[in-house]
Each structure stands twice: as structure tokens, then as C-alpha cells.
């Protein structure tokens, strides 16, 4: 691995996402919504726009995705009875609708390799953001949770495709059916994370991994990545179309309301299949 001594230059600010580039060709994209870094369409659009800009930046050959605060990304914020705290839809300039999962498709279409540094919670859609990356460096205290079924609805953000690709179909089914929480150690053991690093050295470890990638020929890396991951955007589009339909359907159920209320009240849910 390369040295953790590097010099950063600001590249740009994209809403709550701050991007800089070091002199070893590694960009750092830091989400600044502490402590929980809840996600919504604005945040994913910021990731898309910045990563597209970095695709066209010769000084960038790989990206570290990280977050300020306690948690990497605690998913979407839900209030009482399932009210969402952030927008997931918008209107394009031509009047057409734009959904959060349209942005997810565009994110998976970006070209530069990404290493995510995971501290605290990567929950729900936040797990989807973590699984978008090429690699994940996790702290032992990290908490990975596909908690959708515990809330009474369907998973999203392309986890239909990305999660089995990392941990296999059977382990993905277990995590999705149960919503079980796993820590950084178990995440590495099952292939959900690639490396373990303590909190103090987490970003340095992620940067070292990204710098090692950046030391390879950039055209070759991008070509290899297209061969290995080029199918993902199309697969993500098919998956998110299905995920969105099922989420919309199940969000009308009583179990969805009960699941979210139980989470906010820190109690076990009482599901009724209604």
C-alpha cells in the first residue's frame, strides 16, 4: 500500500458533498450531513454530478467516498407513520418526473473506481450506496443492515443486483429477509467489506487502497472496470423499476406504518399482513 501522506486540492462543492483531489490522483468525496448522513434525491444527484465531473478530470483516477459524523449513511429518514424526511422525486426541465432510482442508475454508470470508507451505520438505502462502490473499507464498529423487511417494505437502490454480487444469493436472502445487523468483522468475513481498519486509520486505509488503484494505467483500469461492471447500469435499471413498484405498493400497507412507528418508538413491530 502507498503512504498516507498526500496533499489535497479542493475540486468542488456539490450541495452537501465536498470533493477534493490529492496529488496521487485520488479524489475524496465527503458527505457532510452529520451525524447520520441521511440520503435523498438531492444527495444522490450531488454524487452523480460530482462523479461525472471526476470522470472527465485527468487528475482523478480513483475516488474515496466517505462521510462526516457518526454514521456513513443511515438511509432515508422516516418520521411518524412513514413520512419521509427528504425528497425522492423531482421534475426535470422538460417536465418529466425524476426519481431517486433514476439517479441510482446514473451513479452506477459513472466510470472511476470507488472505495467507500464505512464508519457507523450503512443502513437501508445507505447500504445500497455502500454496495455501489467497487470496494469497502469498514471499521469494526460499522453496522450494515438491510432493514427493509423490518420496516414492512421492499429493499431498494439496486440491492437486488449489488448485494448478491458481493455476498452470494443465499446470504443476500438472509440479510434481506431478516434485516439482521452485522458489524465490520462479519462484513469482511462474508465479502460485504474488503478490509477492516480502526476508526482512526479508516480514511487512510481507504485512501491507500484507492491510491494503489490510481498507480495503475488509468485507461487500462477504466477498460477493465467496464468489462467487469459494464452490465451493472442496465441490471440496476431493471432492478430499481421492480423495487420502486413494490415499495410504492407496500408503503400503502398497515405493516409499513407499524414498522416505521416501531422503529421510531424503539420497540418490536406487530405486523398483521395488512
- How do the domains of the chain map onto residue ranges? 8-201+214-264
| Contact yes or no for 27/227 (Cβ under 8 A) | no
pLDDT one-digit tens code per residue, 210-232: 999 999 999 999 999 999 999 99
| Contact yes or no for 182/144 (Cβ under 8 A) | yes
SS3 of residue 222 by DSSP: helix
Question: pLDDT at position 1, please?
Answer: 42
Strand partners, 17: 14, 31
Cell triple for 206: 481507504
Q: What is the pTM of this model?
A: 0.92
Question: pLDDT at position 274, please?
Answer: 84
- 3-state SS of 139-195 is CCCCEEECCHHHHCCCCCCCHHHHHHHHHCHHHHHHHHHHCCEEEHHHHHHHCCCCE
pLDDT one-digit tens code per residue, 68-107: 999 999 998 876 555 555 667 787 767 778 889 999 999 9
| Contact yes or no for 55/112 (Cβ under 8 A) | yes
Question: pLDDT at position 90, please?
Answer: 80
Between 3.90.226.10, 1.10.760.10, 3.20.20.80, 3.20.20.100, what CATH number should domain 8-201+214-264 receive?
3.90.226.10
Extract the residue ranges of the chain whose pLDDT is less than 50: 1-3
Question: pLDDT at position 2, please?
Answer: 42
Helix axes 159-167, 169-178, angle to 10 degrees: 120
Question: pLDDT at position 81, please?
Answer: 55
Q: How far is CA 21 from CA 11, 156, 214, 221, in A?
A: 6, 31, 12, 18
Question: pLDDT at position 83, please?
Answer: 55
Amino acid at each position: 500500500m502507498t503512504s498516507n501522506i498526500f496533499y489535497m486540492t479542493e475540486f468542488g462543492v456539490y450541495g452537501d458533498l465536498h470533493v477534493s483531489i490529492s496529488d496521487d490522483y485520488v479524489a475524496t468525496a465527503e458527505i457532510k450531513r452529520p451525524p447520520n448522513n441521511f440520503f435523498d434525491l438531492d444527495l444522490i444527484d450531488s454524487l452523480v454530478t460530482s462523479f461525472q465531473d471526476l470522470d472527465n478530470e485527468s487528475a482523478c483516477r480513483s475516488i474515496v467516498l466517505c462521510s462526516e459524523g457518526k454514521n456513513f449513511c443511515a438511509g432515508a429518514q422516516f418520521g411518524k407513520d412513514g413520512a419521509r424526511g427528504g425528497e425522492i422525486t423531482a421534475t426535470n426541465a422538460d417536465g418529466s418526473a425524476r426519481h431517486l432510482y433514476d439517479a441510482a442508475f446514473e451513479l452506477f454508470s459513472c466510470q472511476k473506481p470507488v472505495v467507500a470508507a464505512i464508519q457507523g451505520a450503512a443502513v437501508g438505502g445507505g447500504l445500497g450506496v455502500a454496495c455501489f462502490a467497487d470496494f469497502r473499507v469498514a471499521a469494526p464498529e460499522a453496522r450494515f443492515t438491510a432493514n427493509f423487511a423490518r420496516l414492512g417494505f421492499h429493499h431498494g437502490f439496486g440491492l437486488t443486483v449489488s448485494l448478491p454480487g458481493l455476498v452470494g444469493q443465499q446470504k443476500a436472502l438472509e440479510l434481506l429477509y431478516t434485516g439482521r445487523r452485522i458489524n465490520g468483522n462479519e462484513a469482511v468475513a462474508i465479502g460485504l467489506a474488503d478490509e477492516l481498519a480502526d476508526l482512526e486509520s479508516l480514511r487512510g486505509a481507504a485512501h491507500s487502497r484507492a491510491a494503489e488503484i490510481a498507480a495503475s494505467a488509468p485507461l487500462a483500469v477504466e477498460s477493465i472496470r467496464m468489462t467487469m461492471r459494464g452490465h451493472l447500469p442496465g441490471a440496476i435499471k431493471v432492478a430499481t423499476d421492480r423495487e420502486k413498484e413494490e415499495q410504492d405498493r407496500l408503503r400503502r400497507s398497515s405493516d409499513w406504518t407499524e414498522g416505521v412507528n416501531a422503529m421510531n418508538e424503539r420497540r418490536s413491530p406487530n405486523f398483521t399482513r395488512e
